[in-house]
Amino acid sequence: MLSVIQSANLIVRFLLEIAALFAVGYWGFNTGPTWLTKIILGLGAPLVIGLIWSRLGAPGAATPLSGWPRLLLEVAIFGLAALGLAAVHQPSLAIGLAAIFVVNRVLMAIWAQ
């Protein structure tokens, strides 16, 4: 039974990563003063975050971080996503994303995932 819960936690983690990219994109599309800025921020910010994650944080990353540096990267990425949601007047979504991230990360630490 525990292995099913651990697998579910990894699925939640993947969904959190996707949600963070969408949150940053949502922030970008709602932040820029002109339509061009909105497009650049809405597409560019998630692209930059995705590239950083793929190089440093994702399983099978080219230069994977571990320990405290990885934790700081995760907090930065998910923190920026939550702050972006809060900045565009979505506080409930921001709090929800942050809370799910914290619970997920604690469980990952406990289970060494």
Helices (H), the chain: 2-31, 35-56, 67-87, 91-110
> What pLDDT digit, counting tens, does each position of 24-80 carry?
999 999 998 999 999 999 999 999 999 999 999 998 898 999 999 999 999 999 999
Q: Kindly report the number of other CB atoms within 10 A of residue 22's CB atom.
A: 14
Give the up-direction half-sphere exposure of residue 77: CA atoms within 13 A in the CB hemisphere.
28
The pLDDT value recorded for residue 32 is 83
pTM of the full predicted structure?
0.92
Please report the pLDDT score of residue 83 as a whole number: 98
Q: Hey, where are the domains in the chain? A: 2-110
